[in-house]
Amino acid sequence: MISAARQETLMAVILITGGARSGKSTRAEARARSFPGQPVYIATAEALDTEMEARIATHRARRGTDWIEREVPLDLVPALVATDDGGARLVDCLTLWLSNLMHAQRDWEGGVKALAGALPRLKSPVVLVTNEVGLGIVPDNALARSFRDAAGIMNQTIAAAADEVEFVVAGLPMKLK
C-alpha cells in the first residue's frame, strides 16, 4: 500500500520560472534532489559555442557527478517516458527547448501541448526550469516578439499542467501554485 503522501511525491510536476541568473537552476536542483532515487539531468542545451560550453560546465560543477545526464534538445516527451522508473528528472530548460523546436522547424505548439498532456501521466517526479522573457520593453524585431509570445504561451500551458509553480527572484522562490 502506498501512503497518500508517498503517492503525491511520486506524481509531482514542479515548474520553476524566473529571469536570467535568478537562481532557478539551483532551486530546481534542490527540489529534484529532495525526491528519493538517483536524479536525472535532462539538458536541452547543446554545446554549440564556447559561451554555452562555459555555462554547461558551470552548471555541472555545481550539480556534482551523482546525476544521470541526458542531452535532449528536441524529443522531451520520449526522454521523460524512457527515464520514468527512478528518481526525479530535472529539465533545464524549456525556453531553450522551445528555441530548438523553432530552429528545427518543428511544430512547437503541438510539442508544448504534447508535453503538457504527458506530464500528468508520468510516475516519477519532474522538475522543469523555464525563463520569464516578457517583462522588458517590446523587442524591435518581429522574430524576438514572436519568440517571447511563444515562450509566454508555453509557460502558461505548462504551469496549468503542473502541480506546483515557483517564481524565483534573487535566489528566493515565490509560490505561484
**Residue 76's closest CA among 64, 59, 90, 88?**
90
Q: Helix, strand or coil for residue 41?
A: strand
Would you tell me which residues interact with a copy of itself (CB under 8 A)? 15, 17-23, 51, 130, 132-139, 142, 144-145, 147-149, 151-153, 155-156, 158-160, 165, 167, 169-172, 174, 176-177
Which grid cell sits at 126? 519532474
Q: Is the dihedral of CA 142, 71, 56, 17 positive or negative?
A: positive
Q: Any idea which residues carry the catalytic annotation?
A: 59
**Residue 84's closest CA among 8, 11, 162?**
11
CB of 159 to a copy of itself, least distance (A): 4
- Judged by beta carbon, residue 67 or residue 147, the one nearer a copy of itself is 147
- Judged by beta carbon, residue 1 or residue 20, the one nearer a copy of itself is 20
- Judged by beta carbon, residue 13 or residue 40, the one nearer a copy of itself is 13
| Residues annotated in a binding site for GTP | 18-25, 43-45, 60-63, 71, 92
